[in-house]
Amino acid sequence: MRQIWRNRASLFIGLGIGASLALVTWLAYLGGGAGGSYTHCYYVPIVVAGYLLGDLGGIVTAFGAALLAGVLPLDTDLGTRQSTGEVVIRAALFYFIGLMTSRLFAKLDERREDAASLLKVSRTVNASLRASEVLRTIAETTVRITSAKACSIRLLNRERRELILAASYGLSLDYLARGPVHVANSSIDQSVVAGKVVAVLDVRVDPRFRYGEEARRENLVSLLSLPLLKGATVFGSLNVYSASRQQWSRRERRMVQAFAEQAGIAIHNARLHEDLRRNYWETVNALARAIEARDPFTLGHSERVTDYALQLGAAVGLSPEELETLRFAATLHDIGKIGVGDEAIARGGHLDMSSEIVMRMHPLIGISILQPVEFLTPTLPAVRYHHERWDGNGYPEGLEGEGIPYLARVLSVTNTYDRLQTGSPGRIGLTPQEAGQELRRLAGTALDPELTQLFLRTVSSSR
């Protein structure tokens, strides 16, 4: 449908340009002939045609303008005819204007497309701190902007001197199954790791490329390989493959180089982000251990609950982002106990009314501690509601059924399972089999029945 509208638009534009040529010819005739100033008006439809219809449209319009201008008398009143030289010079000038206009506008379109592609990649780099997502966008955009067949991005493992695949677009799983590339075995990769740009006209026959047969099956021909840099340090390579023999143009090299620089920024930002998250994780893990150290029965509880929760989260198909949220929530779910007295914690389940009220406040105390930390915001519902019950008799708000946030239900199952095995003052911990039987009894009353059954199958298969 879009092609039909384009064809119709081109037809209407062509008709409009034809009508404008006729109008200019009539005005030039009335204005005194080819020697008058109205002849210069032929430039307008030629430029418009070059802009809207490209090379062919500009040339055809220039030819039509030269033909119409050529049949005009030099002077309408005297009836003198133009010389052949005047007609030829004007025709050459019209042709040059039509061709150059279309080429200039084509260049402008290229630059506009290049700028749009760079803007898209830049936005992705700024919007996401996940290197895999950004590198995939860079690989895809590189293929589109260069009309290549495929692109791969590999990161350098300096200790093992290997280039490990980080993202690709247009390559089959069979081709990617080659695994890491050993730099010592490839002169091309040695040059790239040394900071050089390498262009190979035909990888199928070039002895520097070690996978000629695989490239032939994959229909890969020409290669452009660039280093990924952070300052003067090379930490990977960006490789672009074409499906035919190709001499990479300056524009293509410039664009691929720009994408390589964006890939470097993306990876640097992602690594900084991962370092920051790791530091956060180590800090909150240490804080959770400090809280549990107040009660020997709960020492290691958060770590075990986190492990169980991640197993169950993977079994229900949570996304990487949701698993990350669940990991932090499970580690910090009891952080509110920092506001509960040592006596209440030591007494475990044997609490008087006032101690029971304080103990039931620990999810809310936990929320007040975590709320100022922005990156922990997604964990708040799970921490707040992990003591709610499926039948509505839990705390702090008495939510029931599917009204309880999903991650809180996951955490409730895994927290209960570890509590049953851990025990408390005056209560001996259960064996895994006994804890599983008790969990089945609680399914549908205290716990989400579907999640409970899935969790029991998961822990049973992992034993």
- What secondary structure does DSSP assign to 384-445, as a single string? HHTT--TTS--SSS---GGGS-HHHHHHHHHHHHHHHHH-BTTBPPPPHHHHHHHHHHHBTT
The pLDDT, as a whole number, for residue 129 is 58
Paired with 229 in beta bridges are 234
Query: Is 358's pLDDT higher than 70?
Result: no
Residue 246 has pLDDT above 90, yes or no: no
C-alpha angle 247-253-259 in degrees, rounded to nearest 5: 140
Confidence label for 63 from pLDDT (cuts 50, 70 and 90):
confident
User: Chain-wide mean pLDDT for the chain?
Assistant: 81
- The whole-number pLDDT of residue 157 equals 87
Residue 176 and residue 373: Cα distance in Å, rounded?
41
Does residue 221 carry a pLDDT above 80? Answer: yes
414 vs 375 pLDDT, higher one: 414
| Contacts with 375 (C-beta within 8 Å, 6 or more apart), sequence order | 277, 280
Confidence bin at 135 (pLDDT 50/70/90):
confident
Check residues 13 and 318 and name the one with the higher pLDDT: 318
Give the pLDDT confidence score for residue 136 in this predicted structure: 83
Instruction: Return left, alpha or beta for 454; rule: phi > 0 is left, psi -120 to 50 is alpha, else beta.
Output: alpha
Task: Please state, as a whole number, how many other Cβ atoms lie within 10 Å of the Cβ of residue 252.
Answer: 19
The confidence score (pLDDT) of residue 342 equals 54
Range picked from 158-172, 396-410, 415-429 for highest mean pLDDT: 396-410
Question: Regarding predicted confidence, which is higher, 404 or 357?
Answer: 404
Quote the CA–CA distance of 121 and 259 in Å, as a whole number: 8
CA distances 30 to 12, 25, 90, 99, 374, Å, are 27, 9, 19, 29, 76
Q: Is the dihedral of CA 318, 320, 321, 325 positive or negative?
A: positive
Confidence band (pLDDT; 50, 70, 90) for 417?
Answer: very high
pLDDT for 296 beyond 70: no
Q: Hey, what are 151's tokens?
A: 């692109």
